[in-house]
Amino acid sequence: MKRIAVCPGSFDPITYGHIDIIERASRIFDVVYVSVLKNSAKEGLFTPQERVELINEVTKGLPNVEVRIFNGLLIDFCEEVEAQAIVRGLRAVSDFEYEMQLTSMNRKLNSTIETIYMMTNNNYSFISSSMVKEVAKYGGKIEDVVPPQVESALRGKFNPQ
Ligand code: PNS
């Protein structure tokens, strides 16, 4: 049986913190689906298609990673691709409450799909897509927190030539 995991998120845009989790998951599972989902609490900067293109570019060295857009519940996506696990990164205590709610709700919807948390690498524990967008918006330095393709996509959004 193939070990299949889903790395879900809004990825608006993908950061080195996300990439670290996806890479580590790809070493443990046979197939990792990166699932671009809607977080109804967040306004998007990139379209889902733009997010997928960026994720594809920055994960192209990982042959067992596939990127998908899904309009609906994370658990429905997991069932569709027959995943046994959801993998999420945990940065700090401040993430914990939301993550606990998410996991509990997903477990109510399908108790056979396990959620696994990986502690984010210390170098990335302070990164969030929201902060990256804010720094990029005001022309700050973001090259340490996102790959070059994402940096130029952000510059394109905020400083279209
Ligand atoms: O990167 P994020 O924004 O922290 O990811 C949150 C995400 C997209 C994984 C979450 O909002 C989600 O699963 N959205 C899809 C709808 C859903 O299944 N919600 C959870 C049950 S309420």
Residue nearest to atom 19 of ligand 1 (CA): 73
pLDDT at 94: 87
Quote the CA–CA distance of 145 and 107 in Å, as a whole number. Answer: 32
Q: Give the chain's residues under pLDDT 50.
A: none
- Domain extent listing, the chain: 4-126
The alpha carbon of residue 112 and the mean position of all alpha carbons in its chain are separated, in whole angstroms, by: 22
Atom of ligand 1 nearest to the CA of 98: 4
Which tokens sit at 103?
């996991």
Long-range contacts of 56-59 (CB under 8 A, 24+ apart): 57/147, 57/149, 58/14, 58/19, 58/147, 58/149, 58/150, 59/19, 59/22, 59/34
Ligand 1 contact, 120 CB (< 6 A): no
Per the annotation, binding residues for ATP are: 10-11, 18, 89-91, 99, 124-130
Task: Give the tens place of pLDDT for each residue, 33-44.
Answer: 999 999 999 989
Which tokens sit at 14?
């993908």
Q: How far is the CA of 114 from the centre of ligand 1 (A)?
A: 15
Phi first, then psi, for residue 97 (nearest 5°) are: -65, -45
Q: Please name the CATH architecture into which domain 4-126 falls.
A: 3-Layer(aba) Sandwich (3.40)
Ligand 1 contact, 37 CB (< 6 A): yes
pLDDT at 135: 97
**Which one from 2, 42, 104, 152 is the annotated catalytic residue?**
42
Atom of ligand 1 nearest to the CA of 12: 1
Q: Which residues of 27-38 are buried (b: 16+ CB within 10 A; e: fewer)?
A: eebebbbbbbbe
pLDDT at 122: 92
Residue 129 known to be catalytic = yes
Residue 42 known to be catalytic = yes
The terminus-to-terminus CA distance of the chain in angstroms comes to 50
pLDDT at 160: 75
